[in-house]
């Protein structure tokens, strides 16, 4: 396979500094890795013209690597010539040098290392702002000349405190810029973007969204550009917009040079309309020697803070994007799923809206709004779900304007004048009817689109089952997993949108009866009883009653409650049958025990949750409910008198052991863990499974990856049980010494020093933060310089989203809303039972930092659990 990389020439600096990975000299550090696998690797900085190395080798390359700092411009013509090209990787962030539409049409995947430069660029922006505001460059040039005239530089030097700063674009970088400006006590932080920040995120930095760009720049002392380049942002900062800038404002652009009109910026600086311009991006790159931005000045000879494009290519950033590039290519070679946030173009379709695929519709709508009567003003701008905006006339009456499809093709404008005022919209205090209608239509379309994906996956599953191919583990494909949670999230948001709020809250308040009904059905094994009947004919309530021992009139209530939420089916009055959901309970002791757990100890603990929270007690709700001071695990390990008076293990322990496994590794919680982490890349590494349990994740890994070696650690009686399980299920691992067992308490010093990998599955979520820090500290002390910790737990995401995790498509909240409910339930379950918690990435990172570690990556898996990777802190 041929891999082509277009990188920049580093010269002597790159020869002296091997960490300059983005250069042709150091080649992202991947040459030996690629060649060891038999791949051809061509690296060059020669990218211009028909005889360049770029155009010569692109014709038969399968993988192309480029960078934003020395971009190889992949035009439509080159895409047509690149007959073998399957993958284009941007080693960094920003793929505007690639013709994305052409790649969509040709099925070429385009990926970038999302997030690799966000900190570097945000810091550079803040630095540039300070350089301009403090008039630093002329002051330094004065010193170099040997002069000393304080007044010459001080006359144009200001404080950042008290200034208004606005960002055009408030994504990963723009938000971090505002975040880093908060300690400077600016007068106000503003942002212009197509949608509001999540409320918590905006509140955290006290930022305000301004819906009109001209209105925002007119208020700002400093404007910074942090938006991607696409057809909607090219030339955005032009002569017309610059006229609306506050006289003497400063402008910083580290996004893309083409967003700012070079001649208009130079003229505005020369005239004094703006006081300074700084950045590191040019159009094109490298910038020609006569580019006006190299030498432009304000009227008093300063205001130029331009540098080469290096804000996102610090040594730290290069390490991140080099590692990310290697991972993308490794995933491609191994046919593993890519990090969703990295995918710009998937196989034949856009996976990101960051490059303005909808901008043409927005421009058409802008023209429609501008043509409206002068008395109309836009009250909701750039927040349409499809192609509609809501305006308000001078009397406060709402008007919807938009574009709709014509019957014969094309689009036509429409205007709807509503009969209520904006301050009195029915049923909603925050959305107009037009907004709610658009959101509902968007959700319906989302449901239809995701349903088609699900149906295709069903059909594919049917085809593979017909040829005798069955999966090792019932794990959805990546596309099915994504479609399911989009569908579930859209259903939940749709219900919230259309249901009466009083009724909705009432239904939620009574939903614990669903749980209790399910517990009863599981305890008496209704699914097993119904399995005896013809699925189409069902079984009468009388016959079911006689077998389960519950009076028919009461059992009817239980089953009808469950049928209403599609568990079991009432085929005709008082006759019931299993359906697809209830059928998984048939002779499924593990799942049955899990449902019993949730409705016994967990339910009892949850009953005490309000009292514990309101009283501010330190004990867990479970401890309060059971009146004990020991933690749950100590209680579960106790022996109690049996029927004959001898001490025996608690009966609950058998239920918990079976339930945790029945709902565990190969079922719901962690099935994706086996497949969505590159375990094969670990080779013959030794994995220390801390708190392994009887089966744990290691048994599945040992079966699937025969080169891996394991040391399983747990308490003595757990280890004894584990040895029996492994002897029965994977004796080869014991006989060859691939699996060893060790008695160990993770609250004590870790005896295995310098292991390749330490894994913990569902350990940290059982404990409060201070305890987790103790556990992690013991591991940190045992780690070698290249050791990693893989923590397998639920990774929470709030509705405000996380820069570390994939976000759901709008209008869903970033965490997929209703589809994330089980994670929230588990978080409350952990607290109620153990004073523990399910945690966000940010919370894991905080724990890691306290223990001398850092979170380096989160592997989102197709299951409730994901993998958080930790390494030694720098």
Among all residues, which ones are annotated catalytic? Answer: 117, 256, 285, 309
Q: Are 378 and 391 in contact (CB under 8 A)?
A: yes
342 annotated among ligand-binding-site residues: no
678 vs 871: CA distance, rounded Å: 17
38 vs 442: CA distance, rounded Å: 48
Give just the sign of the alpha carbon dihedral 501, 506, 509, 512. negative
Q: 591-600 burial string, b = 16+ CB within 10 Å, else e?
A: bbbbbbbbbb
126 annotated among ligand-binding-site residues: no
Q: 372-383 burial string, b = 16+ CB within 10 Å, else e?
A: beeebebebbbb
595 vs 244: CA distance, rounded Å: 63
229 annotated among ligand-binding-site residues: yes
- The DSSP output letter for 678 is -
310 annotated among ligand-binding-site residues: yes
Residue 408 DSSP SS3: coil
792 annotated among ligand-binding-site residues: no
Strand partners, 857: 869
Strand partners, 759: 689, 790
Q: How many CB atoms lie within 10 A of CB 280?
A: 23
HEC string of 859-873 equals ECCCCCEEEEEEEEC
228 annotated among ligand-binding-site residues: yes
Helices and strands in the chain: count of H runs, count of E runs: 35, 30
Q: Are 209 and 151 in contact (CB under 8 A)?
A: no
333 exposed, middle or buried (CB, 10 Å; 0-12, 13-18, 19+)? Answer: middle
172 annotated among ligand-binding-site residues: yes
Question: The tokens of 422 are what?
Answer: 């904006």
621 vs 604: CA distance, rounded Å: 9
276 vs 138: CA distance, rounded Å: 12
193 annotated among ligand-binding-site residues: yes
125 vs 305: CA distance, rounded Å: 11
677 annotated among ligand-binding-site residues: no
In 3D space, the residue among 674, 828, 634 whose CA is nearest the CA of residue 761 turns out to be 674
173 annotated among ligand-binding-site residues: yes
312 annotated among ligand-binding-site residues: yes
621 exposed, middle or buried (CB, 10 Å; 0-12, 13-18, 19+)? Answer: buried
- The DSSP output letter for 567 is S
185 annotated among ligand-binding-site residues: no
601 annotated among ligand-binding-site residues: no
Between helix 541-548 and helix 552-563 the angle, nearest 10°, is 110
589 annotated among ligand-binding-site residues: no
> What is the strand order of the sheet 63-66 is part of?
40-44, 2-6, 63-66, 87-90, 109-112, 343-345
In 3D space, the residue among 315, 343, 313 whose CA is nearest the CA of residue 327 turns out to be 343
Q: Are 7 and 305 in contact (CB under 8 A)?
A: no
Between helix 118-133 and helix 136-145 the angle, nearest 10°, is 70
Q: How many CB atoms lie within 10 A of CB 312?
A: 28
Question: The tokens of 748 are what?
Answer: 């004590």
Strand-pair category, 739-743 with 757-761:
unpaired
Q: 89-116 burial string, b = 16+ CB within 10 Å, else e?
A: bbbbbbbbbbbbebbbebebbbbbbbbb
> What is the strand order of the sheet 539-540 is part of?
539-540, 575-577, 569-572
13 vs 22: CA distance, rounded Å: 12
Side-chain-side CA neighbours of 255 within 13 Å: the count stands at 30
Distances (CA, A) of 714 to 509, 708, 765, 771: 40, 19, 17, 17
Binding residues for substrate: 93, 117
Binding residues: 93, 117, 172-173, 193, 228-232, 254, 280, 309-312
């Amino acid at each position: 396979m041929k891999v082509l990389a277009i990188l920049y020439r580093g010269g002597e600096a790159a020869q002296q500094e091997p960490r300059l990975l983005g250069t042709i000299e150091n080649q992202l550090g991947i040459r030996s890795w690629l060649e060891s696998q038999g791949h051809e690797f061509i690296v060059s900085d020669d990218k211009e013209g028909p005889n360049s190395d770029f155009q010569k080798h692109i014709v038969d390359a399968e993988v192309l690597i480029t960078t934003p700092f020395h971009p190889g411009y992949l035009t439509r013509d080159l895409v047509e010539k690149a007959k073998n090209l399957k993958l284009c990787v941007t080693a960094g962030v920003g793929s505007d040098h690639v013709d994305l539409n052409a790649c969509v049409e040709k099925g070429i995947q385009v990926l970038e290392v999302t997030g690799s430069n966000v900190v570097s660029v945000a810091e550079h922006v803040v630095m540039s702002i300070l350089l301009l505001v403090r008039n630093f460059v002329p002051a330094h040039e004065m010193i170099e000349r040997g002069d000393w005239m304080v007044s010459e530089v001080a006359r144009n030097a200001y404080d950042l405190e008290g200034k208004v700063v606005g960002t055009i674009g408030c994504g990963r970088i723009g938000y971090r810029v505002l975040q880093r400006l908060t300690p400077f006590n600016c007068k106000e932080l503003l942002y212009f973007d197509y949608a509001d920040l999540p409320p918590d995120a905006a509140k955290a930095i006290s930022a305000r969204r301004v819906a009109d760009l001209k209105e925002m720049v007119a208020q700002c002392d400093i404007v910074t550009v942090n938006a991607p380049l696409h057809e909607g942002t090219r030339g955005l900062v032009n002569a017309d917009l610059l006229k609306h800038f506050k006289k003497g404002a400063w402008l910083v652009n580290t996004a893309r040079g083409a967003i700012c009109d070079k001649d208009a910026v130079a003229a505005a600086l020369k005239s004094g309309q703006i006081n300074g311009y700084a950045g590191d991006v040019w159009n094109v790159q490298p910038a020609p020697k006569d580019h006006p931005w190299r030498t432009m000045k304000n009227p008093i000879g300063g205001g130029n803070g331009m540098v080469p494009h290096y804000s996102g290519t610090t040594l730290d950033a290069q390490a991140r994007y080099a590692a990310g590039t290697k991972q993308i290519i490794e995933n491609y070679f191994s046919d593993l799923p890519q990090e969703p946030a990295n995918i710009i173009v998937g196989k034949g379709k856009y996976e990101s809206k960051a490059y303005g695929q909808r901008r043409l519709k927005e421009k058409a709508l802008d023209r429609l709004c501008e043509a409206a009567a002068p008395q109309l003003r836009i009250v909701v701008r750039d927040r349409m779900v499809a192609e509609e905006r809501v305006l308000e006339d001078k009397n406060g009456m709402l008007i919807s304007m938009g574009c709709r499809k014509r019957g014969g093709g094309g689009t036509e404008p429409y205007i709807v004048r509503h009969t209520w005022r904006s301050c009195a919209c029915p049923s909603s205090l925050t959305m107009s009817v037009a907004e709610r209608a658009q959101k509902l239509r968007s959700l319906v379309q989302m449901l239809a689109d995701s349903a088609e994906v699900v149906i295709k996956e069903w059909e594919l599953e049917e085809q593979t089952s017909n040829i005798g191919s069955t999966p090792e583990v019932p794990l959805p494909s990546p596309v099915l997993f994504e479609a399911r949670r989009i569908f579930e999230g859209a259903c939940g948001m749709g219900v919230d949108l259309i249901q009466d709020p009083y009724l909705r809250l009432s239904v939620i308040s009574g939903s614990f009866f669903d749980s209790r009904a399910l517990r009863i059905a599981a305890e008496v094994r209704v699914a097993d009883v119904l399995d005896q009947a013809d699925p189409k004919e069902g079984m009468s309530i009388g016959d079911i009653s006689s077998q389960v021992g519950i009076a028919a009139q009461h059992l009817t209530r239980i089953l009808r409650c469950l049928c209403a939420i599609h568990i079991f089916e009432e085929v005709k009055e008082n006759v019931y049958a299993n359906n697809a959901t209830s059928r998984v309970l048939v002779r499924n002791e593990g799942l049955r025990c899990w449902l019993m757990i949730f409705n016994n100890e967990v339910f009892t603990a949850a009953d005490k949750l309000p009292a514990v929270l309101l009283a501010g007690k330190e004990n867990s709700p479970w401890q309060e409910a059971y009146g004990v001071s020991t933690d749950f695990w100590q209680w579960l390990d106790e022996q109690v008198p049996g029927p004959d008076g001898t001490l025996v293990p608690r009966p609950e322990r058998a239920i918990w052991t079976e339930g945790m496994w029945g709902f565990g590794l190969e079922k719901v919680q962690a099935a994706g863990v086996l497949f969505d982490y590159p375990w094969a890349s670990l080779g013959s590494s030794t994995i220390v499974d801390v708190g392994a349990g009887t089966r744990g994740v290691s048994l599945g890994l040992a079966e699937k990856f025969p080169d891996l070696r394991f040391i399983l650690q747990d308490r003595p009686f757990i280890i004894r049980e584990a040895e029996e399980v492994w002897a029965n299920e994977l004796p080869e691992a014991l006989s060859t010494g691939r699996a060893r067992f060790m008695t160990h308490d993770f609250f004590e010093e870790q005896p295995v020093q310098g292991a390749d990998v330490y894994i913990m599955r569902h350990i940290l979520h059982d404990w409060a933060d201070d305890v987790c820090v103790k556990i992690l500290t013991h591991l940190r002390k045992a780690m070698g310089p290249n050791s990693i910790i893989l923590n397998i737990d639920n990774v929470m995401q709030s509705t405000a989203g996380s820069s570390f995790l994939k976000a759901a498509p709008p209008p869903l909240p970033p965490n997929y809303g209703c589809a994330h409910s089980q994670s929230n339930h588990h978080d409350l379950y952990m607290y109620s039972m153990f004073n523990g918690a399910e945690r966000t990435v940010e919370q894991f990172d905080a724990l890691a930092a306290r223990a001398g570690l850092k979170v380096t990556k989160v592997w989102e898996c197709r299951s409730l659990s994901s993998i958080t990777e930790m390494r030694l802190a720098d």
